[in-house]
Amino acid sequence: MGLNAGTLTAQIISVNGATLGTPVDVTAGGSTEALLAAAFPNGTGGIGEPGEVESEDTFTVRITATVTETVATNPVSVQYGDTPPNDNSAATQNQSASNGLADVNTLDVADGLSGEPAGAPVNGEREAAAFLRTNLSTQVRNVALLTVEKTRLTQTINNPASATDDQLLYRLDATVESTSANGGFQPAALEGTNISVDGTPGTYVLISDAVPVGTVIDSAFDINANLPAGWVAVYTTDPTTTPAPTATWTSAAAVAPFIPNTATRVGFVYDTVANGVIPLGGSTQTATPDLLNDPGLFFRVITSGLPASGDSVNNIAQGFGETQNDPTNEIIYDESGDQKPNNFNDDNTPPDPTGSNFNPAIDDGVADPATDGTDPGNDNTGTGPKGEDNVVVVTPVAPPSLGLFNGPDQAPQAIGPTTDQDDFTNQSTPENGGDPAPELFNNTVNNPPTNSSQIDNVTLRPIRPSFASGATPGAEDYGVDTDIPDGTVVTITNDAGTVSAVYDYTAAGGFVLNPGLSTGLGGTLNNFEDFAVNIGTLPLGGSTDYTVTVDLPPGTPELTRVSIPIVAILKTPKILDLTPLLIRYLTSPSIAFTPAL
């Protein structure tokens, strides 16, 4: 490609890394047996026939031709051999020879020569091919190579049910490359271009980002914090139809520490007159970056303009500067989303023969994924022309589908008279000289398999009947608070017997934890679920047992019926399930257990 085929020549110039005194011309249909016979009369290994190439030997072939391509940066290529798919992949190497006119293949040494065994090689004769492509350069051009990157660091979901209050934290970065993947361009330092800040024109490198559609700048975020040395945060309220380099910029320091949520673009400028040019290899990142904590170019937006049903938030960053000492003052321009500087294409060809191509009429920095493409990994590895958009879909988060069952021993999903909230265990305690004996109940709590995940931090505690009735409308009446005698003591213990919570009851105060008699608890007295037995994590479909001991006070009248609701609580999201314990104080030693069905 781009060469005069009539001028193509091929020469073997070295064997096994040793340069030949005189290159050997490769002729059509020729073989090393004849071509290298004079240079290697005993073969390349010194023990064979003239021109014989030993296994594992290598030789280098040089191809020369007249270039016919005249457009700088257009590709010029040459191919040696013909092994489809001819793409320099492993499939083009060490393949079975087809003996085509353009092939480069091995030839089996004739039988009987120098101990050559009879017959063909076990894998037959082989062939390979390779091509080399470069871009035509009529003159190496010094160009600053600017790579702009954009990373979404965090997404804070405030109200899961709303898509309009998420906070998105972004980081921008700029690097002046010290090497070039295109031989037509020599890397150079980056100096600023004409930018106006606080009403005064200056020479700045500018990294800009149009505030994404559907969001506003989070004015509670300190954009001035943790900036790299020499960089200054700026913003503009000009419409995004105004090209970023010609917008009226205001330094964030002028309104420190926050910028208004009316900003249409945020940016960061580097004064190359005051600070000097950004040298080769200069970057806002360290060699081993910690993007969240290292100094950087940060800003945060709030998704307040999205529809209630949610939408995607799309944006792309832009970088502007000039090549140091460029007499044409051409703007060096790059967009985020990939690792190519100056919006170079994926094959390392430039967007323009000059090495950069900023068009203010179309390069407005407003993201359009359908046109720009996307950086799907949020890691600046997008592909395609120019830059690629950073995209995140923000939608209301439906509360998890969770349930919780709490009920009699081995029957946590038992149904009572009306629902699973009024299933009950009915036991009786014998007369004990006017002081009822403590009664032990065995209960089970379950994370049903219909849930979507494990559930964590389930706590257990007794509650007064009035609370139970208010929490579960429609269930069986749990009685009134005065049904439970003052002085009743309830103890809940986990299955392992390592954690116990002891509660004293009065109708006026309800169940109050007795810390002195309780063991293994934690938490604070400020939270309802704390200072209670926490059974920890229940795997999906898993159950655990616990016990409840009820000790009625002395003087409890005979035949008294007492209902004590025990609640299992999942704190977030708030889910609870009740199982009442029914106790009847009898005058004769007897006990009855009736599991709910």
**CA pair distance 171, 153, nearest whole angstrom:** 7
pLDDT given for residue 124 in this prediction: 86
For the chain, the straight-line distance linking the first and the last C-alpha, in angstroms and rounded, comes to 84
Do 128 and 7 lie in one domain? The reply is: yes
pLDDT given for residue 338 in this prediction: 97
Strands (E), 364-438: 390-394, 405-408, 425-429
pLDDT given for residue 370 in this prediction: 93
**CA pair distance 352, 385, nearest whole angstrom:** 12
For the residues 30-34, what does the mean pLDDT come to?
A: 80
Do 75 and 170 lie in one domain? The reply is: no
State the pairing for strand pair 130-135/75-80: antiparallel
**CA pair distance 290, 202, nearest whole angstrom:** 31
Do 192 and 246 lie in one domain? The reply is: yes
Contact between 211 and 247 under an 8 Å Cβ cutoff? The reply is no
Q: What is the DSSP-derived secondary structure letter of residue 352? A: S
State the pairing for strand pair 248-251/193-197: parallel
State the pairing for strand pair 18-25/575-585: unpaired
Share of the chain above pLDDT 70, in %: 87
Q: What is the DSSP-derived secondary structure letter of residue 538? A: B
Ranking 74-88, 129-143, 561-575 by mean pLDDT, the lowest is 561-575
pLDDT at residue 409 is higher than 80: yes
Higher pLDDT, 159 or 399: 159
pLDDT given for residue 402 in this prediction: 63
Q: Is 33 helix (H, G, I), strand (E, B) or coil?
A: helix
Contact between 18 and 2 under an 8 Å Cβ cutoff? The reply is no
Do 427 and 448 lie in one domain? The reply is: yes
Do 152 and 272 lie in one domain? The reply is: yes
Q: What is the DSSP-derived secondary structure letter of residue 47? A: S
475 assigned to some structural domain: yes
Average pLDDT of the chain is: 85
**CATH, residue 517:** 2.60.40.2310
Length of the chain: 597
Q: Which of 394, 415, 431 is the last residue in one of the domains? A: 394
Higher pLDDT, 6 or 304: 304
Half-sphere exposure of 290 (CA within 13 A, CB side): 4
For the residues 541-567, what does the mean pLDDT come to?
A: 88
pLDDT given for residue 561 in this prediction: 80
Domain of residue 477: give its range: 405-585
pLDDT given for residue 588 in this prediction: 25
Higher pLDDT, 415 or 209: 209
596 assigned to some structural domain: no
18 assigned to some structural domain: yes
Do 554 and 469 lie in one domain? The reply is: yes
Tokens linked to 320: 């502007």
Q: SS in 3 state form for 96-152?
A: ECCCCCCCEECCCCCCCHHHCCCCCCCCCCEEECEEEEEECCCCCEEEECEEEEEEE
Q: Confidence class of residue 578 from pLDDT cuts 50, 70 and 90?
A: very low
pLDDT in tens, 483-507: 899 999 999 999 999 999 999 999 9
pLDDT at residue 336 is higher than 90: yes
555 assigned to some structural domain: yes
Do 371 and 479 lie in one domain? The reply is: no
How many domains does the chain fold into?
3
For the residues 260-281, what does the mean pLDDT come to?
A: 97
Higher pLDDT, 31 or 212: 212
Residues facing residue 134 across a β-bridge: 76
Do 129 and 145 lie in one domain? The reply is: no
pLDDT at residue 36 is higher than 90: no
Do 461 and 314 lie in one domain? The reply is: no
Q: pTM of the full predicted structure?
A: 0.52
Q: Confidence class of residue 467 from pLDDT cuts 50, 70 and 90?
A: confident
Backbone conformation region of residue 264, classed left if phi is above 0, alpha if psi is from -120 to 50, else beta: alpha
pLDDT given for residue 515 in this prediction: 87
597 assigned to some structural domain: no
For the residues 388-413, what does the mean pLDDT come to?
A: 81
Do 130 and 169 lie in one domain? The reply is: no
- Cβ neighbors of 284 (< 8 A, separation 6 or more) are 172, 173, 174, 175, 228, 231, 295, 296, 297
pLDDT given for residue 267 in this prediction: 98
pLDDT at residue 527 is higher than 70: no
Contact between 556 and 573 under an 8 Å Cβ cutoff? The reply is no
pLDDT at residue 187 is higher than 90: yes
Q: Confidence class of residue 526 from pLDDT cuts 50, 70 and 90?
A: very low
Q: Confidence class of residue 417 from pLDDT cuts 50, 70 and 90?
A: low
262 assigned to some structural domain: yes
pLDDT at residue 543 is higher than 60: yes
Do 524 and 443 lie in one domain? The reply is: yes
Q: Is 37 helix (H, G, I), strand (E, B) or coil?
A: coil
**CA pair distance 227, 295, nearest whole angstrom:** 5
pLDDT given for residue 72 in this prediction: 65
Do 264 and 224 lie in one domain? The reply is: yes
pLDDT in tens, 89-128: 888 888 888 888 888 888 887 777 666 777 888 888 888 9
pLDDT in tens, 352-385: 999 999 999 999 999 999 999 999 999 999 999 9
Q: Which of 349, 368, 394 is the last residue in one of the domains? A: 394
For the residues 154-183, what does the mean pLDDT come to?
A: 93
pLDDT given for residue 525 in this prediction: 45
**CA pair distance 451, 466, nearest whole angstrom:** 29
